[in-house]
A and B are shown apart, each in its own frame.
Chain A
Amino acid sequence: MSATTAAPAQTTKTGGLLATIANNARQYGIVGALLIIVVVFQILTGGVLLKPNSFVSLIQQNAYVIILAIGMVMVIIATHIDLSVGSLVAFIGGICALLMERQGVNWGLAILISLLVGLIVGVWQGFWVAYVGIPGFITTLAGMLIFRGLATVLVGESVPITSESFRGIARNYLPNVLGWWGPFDGLTIVLGVACIAAFAWSQLHKRIRAQRVGLVPEPMSLTVIKIVVAALAIGFVTYLLASSGNADQGGTPIMLVIVGVLVLIYNFILTKTVFGRHVYAVGGNRKAAELSGINTRRVDFTLFVHMGFLSAVAAVCMLSRLASATAQAGMEFEMDAIAACFIGGTAVTGGVGTIPGAVVGAFVMGVINQGLSIMGVDTAIVKTIKGLVLLGAVAVDIMSKRKKR
């Protein structure tokens, strides 16, 4: 669900409690920084930041950064970068809008075609990077120009979206099927409880399986602490969501479900699959990976296909939110996604990084954005502050690494 709960799921150490925490200081550090930022803005905004409805809009506004950061973190781990994602949001958003508004295509089919276009663009960029050997920076810089240009040709001024269903993706909630329990949405409460139970079950199950194959599991105290912390975090988020909404609807926003599912799936891919291992291996030492029998070209290619797909998802979300396709859509999105990765502890030189980290990085930027705009700070100043935060986060990271050596 939220990033705070996903981060502790990373830890599978078998040492003592303190050692385990020390091992993951970097992960916990960025989560701690996010908590501090949240508390500071909660105070500065007089408690507005964590009002249910502004919390929901925080998620809806930053969904695109998270979706793009999921792919970007994998690309950066493998020592590449993708500068074209912002242009792709405009290009694919334009195609989706034209399909619905000019060709009369059903909105569901339009989304499917958009995702397919994203995959094709990924194949295109992956081909140049992996099989021709053009660095990702250059391939996607070209892509940034190509797709921004094509978006302008396609869209012209703008294409407004008329489909209410499509526009609802970005602003509607899951249907209130279980009714209102007092002031709370029933479905959200059920989902929250289910998440807590699933987390607890996965932690306990992991212990049992470890014991079954004869390994020493992590200390029980740590498992309990993890479950309690996760339960508190998920519980709080559930409370906020369940009491959000307006006169017609409320509860769990659809965007949160999309983002949550993507985060879970991609975190699984990166941490639990052979492909995920290949990504880290290629990023950490390409030559050693090759000599271990890994097809490094195919890894590079697949990553760009994933990135194309996720760009298409972000494009659809953004189009729904803006309710109109423009050639300027997605401007500088690549920078937001890259910044989220680096704030979230991804190494500039590749090989290191996690999806939960990138999600937390995206929330750090999002909370600062939201908090400052609630306070009425000028957007130009907001941008400056975000730049300084990026610089500071990476500086702290580099200096802490240097000290360790």
Chain B
Amino acid sequence: MSERDTILTMEHITKTFGPVKALTDVNLTVERGEIHAICGENGAGKSTLMNVLSGVYPHGSYDGRIEFDGKECRYRTIKDSEADGIVIIHQELALSPFLSIAENIFIGNERARGGVVNWDETRAQAARLLERVGLPEDPDTRIADIGVGKQQLAEIAKALSKNVKLLILDEPTAALNDEDSEHLLGLVRQLRDEQGVTSIIITHKLNEVAAIADNVTVIRDGSTVGQMYVTEETPLDQDELIRKMVGRELTNLYPDHPSNPVGPEYLRLKDWTVHHPLDPNRVVADHANITVHAGEIVGLAGLMGAGRTELAMSVFGRSYGSNISGEVYVKGRKTELHNVQAAIDAGLAYATEDRKAYGLNLLQNIRENASLASLRKLSRHGIMDDNIERKEVSRYRRDFNIKCRDIDVPVSTLSGGNQQKVVLAKWVIADPDILILDEPTRGIDVGAKYEIYEIIDQLVDAGKAVIVISSELPELIGICDRIYTVSQGVVTDNVDKQGFTQEYLMRGMTKEREVAVR
């Protein structure tokens, strides 16, 4: 790469959502024919940047300048960027499951004449594209009948049908097993070498970056913080990359809370193994061993797709996964938690990471949501005791400082932080011994975060055990007594407070499985 032939420059990109600055003065330069990796923590702004580039956020809704293939771009829609040969493949694939591969490849771009589809042409061209991506399937096969790995290849075939010049892959291997990942990365490399396709790849897997990228841009908190070139002679320095990804100072965003003396064992997982519900061959949690004691805040640190949520939900009454094996011990007693009610009865609570989809009934009010997991306790002979219910919910409204007119307002009118407090109240009212809090501060403002940390501290001071799952390392370091790092379904490390540094934890979070990418 002696002479520079720039295909894409993004300069001084700034994008705000209301008061929130998602991107601040981001610069990105991509050379023709390279594989360019974009790295950063969850929420650093990688996907936002790609959405700016591809026209998901139209020109004018952001500040800055984009130049592609020598001319300035003002994309209003994705269609505009695709016309220039920029194709983005999102993490959630945009395929229609019940249509054939061929139909999906040419969806919105049908091989047709006067509105009548030419099926022979469609099939023939699809077959040729499938050959190019190395997918040996009949073009008439339904998308739903092939695995996620092959679906990903079909997406790339779709991109190729649009004469792609710049292919953007957002976490392409997050949902793939090792073999499929390797095949996919091989294909990206092949497209570069044989067809001169430039690729931008967003990924959390640092080994993949090392294996495939020619150039790396690191984004942190919505700003570019560095660029690293990779050549045969100078391979990627992963430690340096990790430092760039996390390098920020801890301030006192967290309440000062000394660790409690370690109490009796409350929850222990032994060789807990979970498989993907749709793909029983894909291991989501692999022989996980975790122990949590009374009075302890234990963190589960892992990047997106590491299997943290899946692990937690599979324990909580087998709400996720198939082919689950291993043992759960609650307070030292081996326990079978076949459904959610059994888990609640055993003293577990799980507050979901996606409060709107899985945590709250947005049609109902605070009171009805907060009492949902404890209806048996708040009723007599199946009849609700209104006043006890009101009293209990009012108490946590006060204790948790839920800002609302009264407990009969719909939860849909509350801010994210207050909604999260309602979810917490719901589980605290159920009076569990072990609380699993999945991303308890996602998408809420700093003040509310602090209040939630205080609530967590109160819970462990009252003798409960709390497991916190979070993508934000500083948060885990700020509040936890102990942290397990999880990478690709494997618990890679068990770190005590003395070992809490972002670099050390990130190493555990990015450790590859034995069968790593070449």
Contact B361 A273 (CB under 8 A): no
B350 touches A291 (CB 8 A): yes
Q: Mark B363-404, 1 if CB is under 8 A from A, else 0.
A: 110001001110110010011101110110010000000000
Of the listed stretches A10-18, A54-62, A135-143, A236-244, chain B binds A10-18
Q: In the complex, how many angstroms separate the beta carbon of A386 from the nearest chain B beta carbon?
A: 28
For A215, the chain B residues whose CB sits under 8 A away are: 387, 390-391, 394
Option from A210, A278, A290 in Cβ contact (under 8 Å) with B375 = A278
Choose among B361, B364, B384, B391 the residue that contacts A213 (Cβ–Cβ < 8 A). Answer: B391
Quick one: which of A275, A281, A293, A347 contacts B382, CB cutoff 8 A? A275
* Alpha-carbon separation in the docked complex, A221 to B310 (Å): 53
A209 to B390, CA, bound (A): 12
Q: How far is the CA of A23 from the CA of B303 in the complex (A)?
A: 43
Interface residue count on the B side (C-beta < 8 Å): 38
Known: A213-B391, A215-B390. A284 touches B362 (CB 8 A): yes
Interface string of A273-288 (1 = CB under 8 A from B): 1111110110111011
Say yes or no: B358 contacts A213, CB within 8 Å.
no
B238 within 8 A of A: no
Q: Is there contact, CB below 8 Å, between B391 and A273?
A: no
> What number of A residues sit within 8 Å (CB to CB) of B?
37
292-341 of chain B: CB within 8 A of chain A: 316-317, 319, 339-341
- Given known contacts A288-B361, A293-B373, A352-B363, is B387 in contact with A213 (CB within 8 Å)? yes
State in angstroms the CA–CA spacing of A280 and B350 once bound together: 21
Q: Does B383 contact A295, Cβ atoms closer than 8 Å?
A: no
Tell me how far the C-beta of A401 lies from the nearest C-beta in chain B, rounded to whole angstroms. Answer: 11
Q: Which of A19-71 contact B (CB under 8 A)?
A: 19, 23
> In residues 191-213 of chain A, which contact B (Cβ within 8 Å)?
206, 209-210, 212-213
In the bound complex, how far is the Cα of B360 from the Cα of A277, in angstroms?
14
A281 proximity list for chain B (CB < 8 A) = 361, 364, 368, 372
Measured between beta carbons, the chain B residues less than 8 angstroms from A144 are none
Residue pair A213, B388 in contact (C-beta under 8 Å): yes
Chain B contacts for A23, CB-based, 8 A:
408
Distance (whole angstroms) from the CB of B125 to the closest CB of chain A: 38
Task: Tell me, yes or no, whether B426 is within 8 Å of chain A by CB.
Answer: yes
Chain B residues within 8 Å of A212, by CB? 387
Provide the residues of chain B in CB contact with A278, threshold 8 Å. 375
CB distance from B296 to the nearest CB of A (A): 24
Whether the pair B340, A288 counts as a contact (CB closer than 8 A) is no
Contact with A along B47-67 (1 / 0, CB 8 A): 000000000000000000000
How many A-B residue pairs lie within 8 Å, measured between CB atoms? 106
How far apart are A203's CB and chain B's nearest CB, in angstroms? 13
Query: Are A284 and B361 touching (Cβ within 8 A)?
Result: yes
Q: What chain B residues lie within 8 Å of A290 (beta carbons)?
A: 319, 340
- Residues of A near B376 (CB, < 8 A) are 274
Q: Is B357 an interface residue (CB 8 A)?
A: yes
Residues of A within 8 A of B379 (CB): 273-274
Alpha-carbon distance between A97 and B388 when the two chains are bound, in angstroms: 49
Which B residues touch A295, using CB under 8 A?
339, 341
B359 within 8 A of A: yes
The distance from the CB of B279 to the nearest CB of chain A, in whole angstroms, is 21
B384 and A280 contacting across the interface, CB-CB below 8 Å: no
Given contacts A12-B386, A273-B383, A278-B375, contact A292 B363 (CB under 8 A): no
B394 contacts A293, C-beta separation under 8 Å: no
Q: Using Cβ atoms and an 8 Å threshold, which residues of chain B touch A273?
A: 379, 382-384
Tell me if B352 counts as interface (CB < 8 A to partner A).
Answer: yes
Nearest CB to that of A284 among chain B residues? B361
Given contacts A292-B372, A293-B340, A293-B341, contact A209 B384 (CB under 8 A): no
Please name the residue on chain B nearest to A349 by beta carbon.
B363
Q: Is A403 interfacial (CB 8 A cutoff)?
A: no
A294 at interface (Cβ–Cβ under 8 A)? Answer: yes
* Cβ 8 A contact of A287, one of B358, B375, B383: B358
* Residues of chain B lying within 8 A (CB to CB) of residue A376: none
In the complex, whether A118 has a CB less than 8 A from a CB of chain B is no
Question: A288: which B residues are within 8 A, CB to CB?
Answer: 352, 357-361, 372
Is the C-beta of B113 less than 8 angstroms from some C-beta in chain A? no
Please measure, in the bound complex, the distance between the C-alpha atom of A13 and the C-alpha atom of B379, giving whole angstroms.
20
Q: Does B140 contact A (CB under 8 A)?
A: no
Chain A interface helix/strand/loop/mixed: helix
Instruction: Check A13–B384 contact: CB distance below 8 A.
Output: no
B71 within 8 A of A: no
Asked whether A94 is an interface residue with its Cβ less than 8 Å from the other chain, the reply is: no
Cβ contacts under 8 Å, A275 to chain B: 382
Contact between B391 and A214 (Cβ–Cβ < 8 Å)? yes
> How many angstroms from the CA of A287 to the CA of B360 in the assembled complex?
9
| Contact, CB under 8 Å: A292 / B373 | yes
B386 proximity list for chain A (CB < 8 A): 12, 206, 272
Residues of B within 8 A of A280 (CB): 361, 363-364, 368
Residue from A209, A277, A283, A287 in contact with B372 in the complex, judged by beta carbons closer than 8 Å: A277
Question: Is B406 an interface residue when CB atoms closer than 8 A count as contact?
Answer: yes
Within 8 Å by CB of B406, from A14, A206, A292, A351, lies A14
Interface string of B399-430 (1 = CB under 8 A from A): 00000011010000000000000000010000
**How far, in whole Å, are A157 and B373 apart by their CA atoms in the complex?**
53
Give the distance in Å from the alpha carbon of A347 to the alpha carbon of B368 in the complex: 18
B437 within 8 A of A: no
Which parts of A247-294 form the interface with B (CB within 8 Å)?
Answer: 272-278, 280-281, 283-285, 287-294
In the complex, what residues of A have CB within 8 A of residue B317's CB? 293
Smallest CB separation, A305 vs chain B (Å): 16
The reply on B344 being an interface residue by CB < 8 A is yes
Identify which of A12, A283, A291, A351 contacts B352 (C-beta below 8 A): A291
Q: How far is the CB of A219 from chain B (nearest CB, A)?
A: 13
- C-alpha spacing A281/B364, complex, angstroms: 8
- Chain A residue numbers with a CB within 8 Å of B382 are 273-275
What separation, in Å, do the CA atoms of A290 and B339 have in the docked complex?
A: 9
Nearest-Cβ distance from residue A163 to partner chain B, whole angstroms: 37
Q: Complex Cα distance A347/B362, Å?
A: 13
Would you call A284 and B364 a contact (CB within 8 A)?
yes
Contact present for A285 and B360 (CB under 8 Å): yes
**A209-B387 contact in complex given A277-B372, A292-B426, A293-B340, C-beta closer than 8 Å:** yes
- Tell me the smallest distance from the CB of A267 to a CB of chain B, in Å: 13
Chain A residues, CB < 8 A from B344: 293
User: What 5 pairs between A and B have smallest CB-CB spacing?
Assistant: A284-B361, A351-B363, A284-B363, A293-B341, A292-B373
4 new A-B contacts, CB < 8 A, other than A272-B383, A352-B363, are A274-B384, A288-B352, A293-B339, A293-B340
Using a CB–CB cutoff of 8 Å, the interface residues on chain A facing chain B are: 12-15, 19, 23, 206, 209-210, 212-215, 272-278, 280-281, 283-285, 287-295, 347, 351-352
Subset of 11 A-B contacts with CB under 8 Å: A210-B387, A213-B387, A273-B383, A276-B384, A280-B361, A285-B361, A288-B352, A288-B372, A290-B319, A291-B340, A293-B339
